Structure 1
């Protein structure tokens, strides 16, 4: 990969990352979930790609006093799990950038 560009390396990373759309859908299928009726509650067990998972997101939101009056920016959000959680559970405006 000596001649590989940065963009190519980024694509390789996300195409082989352990949390991709197809991998999440495969895991959900193993649980018997219907992909036409997915919810945040179902997805949260498979799309949180950070140390601590959902409890870590909750702790950060608590310490940051995130609520409906706040705006949340999640840089490098991946699949966007934490921003979605902040929208639903805290009524906060949320923007996730990959």
Structure 2
């Protein structure tokens, strides 16, 4: 069975400044994925952080650093962390320290 994938969408019109993750990286909920600048019709905002809303593994990054994206564009594709994508090499308090999966089940 293939791991389910979720897309991380651009919250607004933006320019990706720097990716903080790379393909096949394990991320936790709240992990900073990238820094970006938001564009509106009048000016450019200060640098902001794009954070992960869930744990998983980065499958692909379709938008390169320095490129712009419109609101709703796919910035990053993540697969869920399951037994197929992580061998859970480090376990602390019934959670995998690598992927963040709750192993009590």
| Alignment TM class, shorter chain as reference | under 0.3
Question: Larger helix proportion, structure 1 or 2?
Answer: 1
Question: Larger strand proportion, structure 1 or 2?
Answer: 2
* TM-score, structure 1 normalization: 0.21
Larger RCO (CA under 8 A, 6+ residues apart):
2
